[in-house]
Amino acid sequence: MNSISSSSDSLSVPTVSELKNNKIPSHVAIIMDGNGRWALKRNLPRISGHRKGVIVLKNIVIVCKELGIKYLTVYSFSSENWQRPRIEIKGLMKLFLDSLKRELEDLNKNGVRLKLIGQRETIPVKILKTFEHSEQKTKNNKDLFFNIAFNYGSRQEIIDAVKKIYIAAKNNFINIDNMDTKTFSNFLYTEDFPDPDLLIRTSGESRISNFLLWQIAYTELYFTKTLWPDFSKKHFLKAIYNFQKRSRRFGKL
């Protein structure tokens, strides 16, 4: 069973170099929660929290590279988020476009490969083209695989995988009798990267919210009350340190 932990502000945090002496997670996933609440606490429009959240994410990408983490997957926009007020969605779409265009050169220069995971068919054309341009531009980079879950829902991902498997079996591309968990995983949006070792959720909520349900079967879970716009390098290192203290048995003794 995967472990669940909440952060403690009293926890001492080693430096990056000290952490690198122990096991570094290969893949970290993050549910970046609390942008709206952060803004409302300061009597600011919710989009201000999202803008601050983009700055935090940029810093976390840098720390991942420093630590040698190979895969980072962030929950950017869920398929349920379209139900938010229209003015907030409009602001978010503009923020996504502006951020991708502004950061692309730096990401590419630093060896970061971008990938969109989510239902592409229903993403607005302008947004999808920008994502796909970013993917094409960074496709040969190998220092950090940065996966952005956009218009993403894990239940739909699993349904889509089942549909793909049905078509593959119908056309004799696979033998359904040989289906196992590894083969199934190859039909998910995340087919070309490993399952997360660590999942971090900010803002004090202790739920998964339809994120990577299949992939986190043995992932270590870490919840912190810190709102995403306040999530610093220190908070991230604290989560990594907490991960390093755990014993991962994957069902064994």
Q: Active-site residue among 2, 81, 141, 210? A: 81
Cα 7 to Cα 43: distance, rounded to the nearest angstrom: 27
Overall size of the chain counted in residues: 253
Tokens representing 27? 């893949």
Angle ∠(139,193,54) on CA atoms, nearest 5: 65
143: annotated active-site residue: no
81: annotated active-site residue: yes
- Cβ atoms of 116 and 100 within 8 Å: the answer is no
Q: Active-site residue among 2, 21, 22, 33? A: 33
Tokens representing 217? 């079967």
How far is CA 55 from each of CA 51, 191, 234, rounded to the nearest angstrom? 7, 28, 15
Tokens representing 125? 């054309």
- The residues assigned a catalytic role are 33, 81
